[in-house]
Amino acid sequence: MSGDATRILVLNCGSSSVKYRLYAGRDAVAGGTVERIGESGGGPANHEMALREVLAGLDLTGLTAVGHRVVHGGTLFAAPVLVDDAVVAAIQDLIPLAPLHNPANLAGIEVARQLLPDVPQVAVFDTAFHRTIPEAGATYAIDLAVAERFGIRRYGFHGTSHAYVSRRTAALLDRPYEEINTISLHLGNGASACAVAGGRSVATSMGMSPLEGLVMGTRSGDLDPTIIFHLRREGGFAVDDIDDLLNYRSGLVGLTGDNDMRAVLRRRAEGEPAASLAFDVYSRRIKGYVGAYYALLGRVDAITFTAGIGEKSPEIRAASLAGLERLGIAVDPQRNVGSGDRVISPPEAEVAVCVVATDEELEIVEETVAVLEHRQLPAGTTQPVPEPERPKALS
């Protein structure tokens, strides 16, 4: 099948929304979002109703396949797979690891299989790209038996974005993907850093869940676990309240009341101390990860900023990498304020600092087509597709 002749529908089913985009080759020809699923007042009652609505509104003649975004593939999936009953069962088994996301992703798969029984369905996992992280990077230093029993390890997320962006970085620099080491910084509402060595993820800041790592719109990122015990014992917080605090009322919103970086930047420019502090906490955390991943990689060829904040905030890019000249890292102020995919470091700099617009849907299209063609994308996603087995930790 030639790339241009394919028609791929990409589905991203969240807990209360369905995002969809229809591609002819690499061109998006239709798309949209259905929101407020299952909420009183307006939205469709469930994912099935939402998907029926979406599919009814699209011209699906000659549809090649549906590519589904699936958040958690656990240790089972190191690459995208063609969906069959065993894959559905495995995604189901992983629900305890992603209680908010996997059920919605699964609903999308099941309804699409039902409504489009003759169309191949492909599952593309957020975690898959990170299955190349060595055990030493995926293991938390706790009792191994406890960790094994409860599936506690670093899985990492945003894999589709880090894979796409690191490959694009190599293309931008006109270097072979297999030969360069990249630190990819995905700074959207969720945020994560990833060290990519020769096309393979070797470290990432999100962990067992998307809560760990960088400061995010509403998530705290890294913190001392004792904070949780303290809130429980001294503050009388229920576990669900702490979960809510750290996932939805922390990060930028916790520090400033605003989860939108544009508002934080504006308030900082007006001289507001809380916004200024949030900016410093945010960019200092990024710098710490850049330093850590520099050490892990040994040699860094590129640092790439992506997603809403990474693509659009020169202030955050400059502050996150300030003072790293001794590591060969610098941002050229003129190039920093430009637009489009580009290199923003000075020409003589040892490390190329880049801005690349991420495109997770397009990556899902490419991975879906690759699965159908039994072809593997370069590095990173070249792991053989494992036979799904029931996860040890959850059986």
Residues taking part in catalysis: 126
Q: How far is CA 151 from CA 201, 278, 305, in A?
A: 20, 33, 31
Decide whether 110 or 315 has the Cβ nearer to ligand ADP. 315
Please state the closest distance from residue 241 (CB atom) to ligand ADP, in A: 24
Please state the closest distance from residue 53 (CB atom) to ligand ADP, in A: 23
Q: Which residue's beta carbon is nearest to the bound ligand ADP?
A: 308
Decide whether 12 or 121 has the Cβ nearer to ligand ADP. 12
Please state the closest distance from residue 344 (CB atom) to ligand ADP, in A: 15
Nearest by Cα to 296 from 365, 377, 193? 193
Decide whether 244 or 260 has the Cβ nearer to ligand ADP. 260
Please state the closest distance from residue 69 (CB atom) to ligand ADP, in A: 12
Q: Should residue 260 be labelled a site residue for ligand ADP when binding is judged by CB under 6 A? A: yes
Q: How far is CA 282 from CA 171, 271, 285, 316, 388, in A?
A: 29, 17, 5, 8, 39
Among 36, 149, 230, 262, binds ligand ADP (CB under 6 A): 262
**Beta pairing partners, 270:** none
Rounded-to-integer distance, Cα 395 and Cα 234, Å? 35
Please state the closest distance from residue 307 (CB atom) to ligand ADP, in A: 4
Decide whether 265 or 377 has the Cβ nearer to ligand ADP. 265
Decide whether 308 or 386 has the Cβ nearer to ligand ADP. 308
At which residue do the structure tokens 């690891």 appear?
Answer: 97
Stretch that binds ligand ADP, among 200-208, 254-262, 330-338, 343-351 (CB under 6 A): 254-262
Site for ligand ADP in 67-126 (CB under 6 A): none
The answer to whether 135 touches 168, Cβ cutoff 8 Å, is: no
Stretch that binds ligand ADP, among 132-140, 255-263, 282-290, 374-382 (CB under 6 A): 255-263
The answer to whether 319 touches 304, Cβ cutoff 8 Å, is: no
Please state the closest distance from residue 157 (CB atom) to ligand ADP, in A: 11
Please state the closest distance from residue 306 (CB atom) to ligand ADP, in A: 8
Decide whether 262 or 390 has the Cβ nearer to ligand ADP. 262
The answer to whether 116 touches 60, Cβ cutoff 8 Å, is: yes
Structure-token pair, residue 3: 């790339």
Q: Should residue 44 be labelled a site residue for ligand ADP when binding is judged by CB under 6 A? A: no
Decide whether 19 or 153 has the Cβ nearer to ligand ADP. 19
Nearest by Cα to 175 from 1, 378, 382, 30? 378
Decide whether 155 or 282 has the Cβ nearer to ligand ADP. 282
Tell me the number of residues near ligand ADP by CB under 6 A.
13
Site for ligand ADP in 287-326 (CB under 6 A): 307-309, 312-313
Q: Should residue 217 be labelled a site residue for ligand ADP when binding is judged by CB under 6 A? A: yes
339 burial via Cβ count (<10 Å: 0-12, 13-18, 19+)? exposed
Looking from the CA of 258 toward its CB, the CA atoms found within 13 Å total 16
Stretch that binds ligand ADP, among 112-120, 132-140, 141-149, 261-269 (CB under 6 A): 261-269
Query: Secondary structure of 180-226 in the HEC alphabet?
Result: CEEEEEEECCCEEEEEEECCEEEEECCCCCCCCCCCCCCCCCCCCCH
| Residue 351: DSSP 8-state | S
**Beta pairing partners, 193:** 185
Site for ligand ADP in 146-205 (CB under 6 A): 188-190
Please state the closest distance from residue 85 (CB atom) to ligand ADP, in A: 32
Q: Which residues of 12-41 are buried (b: 16+ CB within 10 A; e: fewer)?
A: bbbebbbbbbbbeeeeeeeeeebeebeeee
Stretch that binds ligand ADP, among 139-147, 257-265, 278-286, 366-374 (CB under 6 A): 257-265
- What are the φ/ψ torsions at residue 286 (nearest 5 degrees)? -60, -45
Judged by the rule CB under 6 A, the positions of this chain that interact with ligand ADP are 188-190, 217, 260-262, 265, 307-309, 312-313
